[in-house]
Amino acid sequence: MSAPLLSVEDLHVAFDGGGGRTTQAVSGVSFAVEGGRTLGIVGESGCGKSVTSLAVMRLLPRDTARVSGRVIFEGRDLLALPERAMRDLRGNRLAMIFQEPMTSLNPSYTVGDQVGEALVRHRGLSAREVRNAAIDLLSKVRIPSPETRVDEYPHKLSGGMRQRVMIAMALACRPALLVADEPTTALDVTIQAQMLELLRQLQVETGTAIVLITHDLGVVAETCDEVAVMYAGQIVERAPVAELFSRPQHPYTVGLIGSLPRLGERRERLAAIRGSVPVLSGRTIGCRFAPRCPFAQAACTATSPDLVDQGGGHLSRCLRAPLERLVA
Amino acid sequence: MSLPLLQVENLSRHFVVRRSLLGTPLSTVKAVDGVSFEIGEGETLALVGESGCGKSTVGRLVLRLIEPTDGRVLFEGRDLAGLDAGALQAFRARAQLIFQDPYASLNPRMTVGSTLTEPLLLHTDLSAADRRGRIGELLETVGLRRDHGDRYPHEFSGGQRQRIAIARALAVEPKLIVCDEPVSALDVSIRSQVLNLLKDLQQRMGLSYLFVSHDLAVVKHIADRVAVMYLGRIVETAAADDLFREPRHPYAEALLSAIPVPQPGARGRRRLLAGDPPSPIAPPPGCHLHPRCPHAAAPCSTQVPRLVSDPAGHATACHLWQEIPRVGATAREDALPAHLTRLIGAFETTDS
């Protein structure tokens, strides 16, 4: 197998707060994505999934965020690149879609200007060429009457349309990697379904790899090839998607799956994970999930578990894995 | 069952969006357009639909937080429109509201204890000592500790804040609680805690819920009956199990088939609607769905379909539902593997 398109190795991100306090948002995250594949990064608020994606794009504020580790993309370490080289890549070889289509479009530029911006910057197209390319892109993301929409301003578009414009912008230069941070969270379900379908079709056409950041296990099950589950700044489990849902090997993943109301069956009570997510201050010893885990033992709070392969590329950061034996 | 707790008859609410210089309305939005339903004692009715369908407005009308343009709301058989100030005050002790955002719905400058004192001062004549006792009781009811009463909202997580909001609603021992997207702002693991709590409280106190939500999986879990709204109208209502097994209205079907299923490979044929929802200021004539509906025929663009109920109480507002080929439940979601169910069981027993 050739080298993966993107490989993130031992990524750490800490934020300096006031008064010498630091928040360790990401601790030792590693994953890889190959061309044309989709990796889901799933977790709850504050688990570090968005910070991970921003670190990959190098969009974190330089004065407060301390980033270490390696982000190897097409053979180069993005974290070591000068800013100018990074700017040549962003919007060109790697692109990002954000959650809020309302706030991530500039209200004072036309749709065409924004969709075409990357083409001007990276391809040096003329104004006429850019306009035609923008119309092309808008029709590719199924925006009706793109010839008129191209000259309109974002406020005239619905939420779903704006997200389509965001996707068109991101795909303008046919990036090798698309980082999508909760791309459908702000949308209604029927529009979300349209959008996921669209991303899937465009992926087939362009062979773009996607890193999909989401909190929604349903979206993960339907769109991803591989999944990384994050908890309190760490990846606690990584597995091919079918494996993760049928044989989860970390109690946190089990709890997440159990807490979902399912359409297929009616249960009186949902699984609840007691307590809430820990505060990400400095160094912690022991498994970060142990205080909320029904399977925790003394050893779990004494040593920090590593991410261990349970076989077949199914990694779990749990001393008690494989979990099947706990209920045998 | 005798009289339903809540009866809503042909309820409408129009908002003026633009007026002329002289104040004559130029355009209006029919946010709620002839909605009728009932909620029995101890029952949960879910109102589902997408942004702008009018579901939250219905919640507000039911509590008389806003006045209807037309139609009636009867609570325990009495028309809310006819209530005088005193009777309205008494009604407010019987019907309460929980909001979506637990960060915005609690006053950050008031301790939890004083937040919970307010409804007790308004609606009861408990002594100060009794009030303190009652507040402690309420906090324990929702799974918090008595001493949490001395803290401020910022000291709590989102899930805990929603518990406080629930305690506030329960303070006056209501019969009906309108829950407006009560778990939408919460993370999944916390969401299930709050849903379990709402179910427990209902069983213990015989509460009725009007549960307003866009999340159909949550609705399936908590609701006895479901009403699906589209652009101000109810297009289908049925027992929750019936609706999820056999949606009849093309919109209900599309809505159900759009839910992402947390099981890889379970997705059946997806029924996608074309385009975006139209502007509610100028909704299409006839059936509001017809421009996006794959089955639309001649009558759909001219005649408004009536909500017609079958003997089992499954009502559909569609001219053609009997002729449309059914796909039935759109996703085959299998039961979880046995070992996984047992693992999940370990969590349920440790619920706080």
For chains A and B, count residue pairs whose Cβ atoms are closer than 8 Å: 189
Considering only CB atoms, B260 lies closest to which of A219, A241, A245, namely A219
Judged by average pLDDT, the poorest of A281-290, A315-324, B89-98, B162-171 is A281-290
Q: How confident is the model at residue B352 (pLDDT cuts 50, 70, 90)?
A: very low
Q: Is the pLDDT of residue B57 over 70?
A: yes
Cβ contacts of B244 on chain A, cutoff 8 Å = 263
Name A273's Cβ contacts closer than 8 Å, sequence gap at least 6.
Answer: A252, A255, A256, A259, A292, B189, B192, B193, B347
Across the strands, what pairs with B303?
none
Average pLDDT, stretch B255-278? Answer: 79
pLDDT tier at B332, thresholds 50, 70, 90? low
Q: What is the pLDDT of residue A312?
A: 87
The interface residues of chain A toward chain B in range 130-169, judged by CB-CB distance below 8 A, are 144, 158-161
Residue type, A5: L
Q: Is the CB of residue B266 less than 8 Å away from at least one CB of chain A?
A: yes
pLDDT tens for each residue of A26-73: 999 999 999 999 999 999 888 999 999 999 999 999 888 999 999 999
- Write the ipTM: 0.84
Neighbouring-strand partners of residue B11: B35
**Which among A44, A191, A246 has CB closest to B187?**
A44
Asked whether the beta carbons of residue B344 and residue A271 sit closer than 8 angstroms, the reply is yes
Q: With 90 as the cut, is the pLDDT of residue A214 above it?
A: yes
Taking contacts as CB-CB distances below 8 angstroms, the residues of chain B near A262 are 217, 262, 333
What residue in A sits closest to B337 (Cα-Cα)?
A246
CB A180 within 8 A of CB A96: yes
pLDDT tier for residue A319 given thresholds of 50, 70 and 90: very high
pTM here is: 0.87
Confidence of residue B268 (pLDDT cuts 50, 70, 90): low
What pLDDT shows up at residue A282?
58
Q: Are the Cβ atoms of A161 and B350 closer than 8 angstroms?
A: no
**What is the secondary structure of B285-301 as a DSSP string?**
SSSTTGGG-TT--GGGG
Cβ of A215 and B187 within 8 Å?
Answer: yes
User: CB contact, 8 Å: A108 with chain B?
Assistant: no
Q: How confident is the model at residue B132 (pLDDT cuts 50, 70, 90)?
A: very high
Give residue A189's pLDDT.
Answer: 85
Q: CA dist A49 to A11, A89, A181, A213, A228, Å? A: 12, 22, 9, 7, 10
- Residue A104 — pLDDT band, cuts 50, 70, 90? confident
Mean pLDDT (whole number) for A193-212: 90
Environment class of A325 (CB within 10 Å of its CB; exposed 0-12, middle 13-18, buried 19+): exposed
Question: What was the pLDDT predicted at A100?
Answer: 77
Best CA proximity match to A304, nearest among A314, A289, A292, A294? A289
Min CA distance, A168 vs chain B (Å)?
A: 17
pLDDT for residue B2: 65
In chain A, whose CA is at the least distance from the CA of B194? A272
Contact A11, A73 (CB under 8 A): no
CA A287 vs. chain centroid, Å, equals 24
To the nearest whole Å, the CA of B183 is away from the closest chain A CA by 12
Span B9-36, mean pLDDT? 90
Q: What is the pLDDT of residue B269?
A: 63
- Is the peptide bond between B247 and the residue preceding it cis, with omega within 30 degrees of 0? no
CB contact residues (below 8 A), chain B span 125-154, against chain A: none
> In this model, does residue B328 exceed pLDDT 70?
no
pLDDT in tens, B203-259: 999 999 999 998 888 998 899 999 999 999 999 999 999 998 889 999 998 888 888
Mean pLDDT of B39-47: 96
Q: Is residue B16 within 8 Å of B28, Cβ to Cβ?
A: yes
Of B159, B266, B276, the CB nearest to A276: B159
Q: A94 is written with which tokens?
A: 């790697």
Map residue B166 onto helix, strand or coil: helix
Residue B149 pLDDT exceeds 60: yes
Token representation of residue B64:
């008389």
Among B188, B267, B272, the residue to mutate for chain A (most A Cβ within 10 A): B188
Q: Do B343 and A327 touch (CB under 8 A)?
A: yes
- What is the distance between the alpha carbons of residues B120 and B112, in angstroms, rounded to a whole number? 13
Residue A158 confidence (pLDDT): 81
- Note whether A179 and A53 are within 8 A (CB): yes
Beta bridge partners of A214: A42
B350, pLDDT greater than 50: no
Residue-wise pLDDT for A235-249, tens only, equals: 999 999 999 999 999
Q: Does A189 touch chain B (CB under 8 A)?
A: yes
SS3 percent helix, strand, coil of chain A, rounded to 5, is 35, 20, 40
Rounded to the nearest 5 percent, the helix, strand and coil shares of chain B are 35, 20, 45
CA distance A150 to A136: 10
- Predicted confidence (pLDDT) at residue A165 exceeds the cutoff of 70: yes
Q: Extract the tokens encoding A182.
A: 């909760």
> Which ranges of A73-188 would DSSP assign to H, the alpha helix?
83-89, 111-123, 127-140, 146-149, 159-171
Nearest residue of B to residue A291 by CA position? B350
Tokens 């009906």 belong to: B176
């965020």: which residue's tokens?
A: A65
A-contacting residues in B 208-247 (Cβ below 8 Å): 214, 216-218, 220-222, 241, 244
Report pLDDT for B331.
55
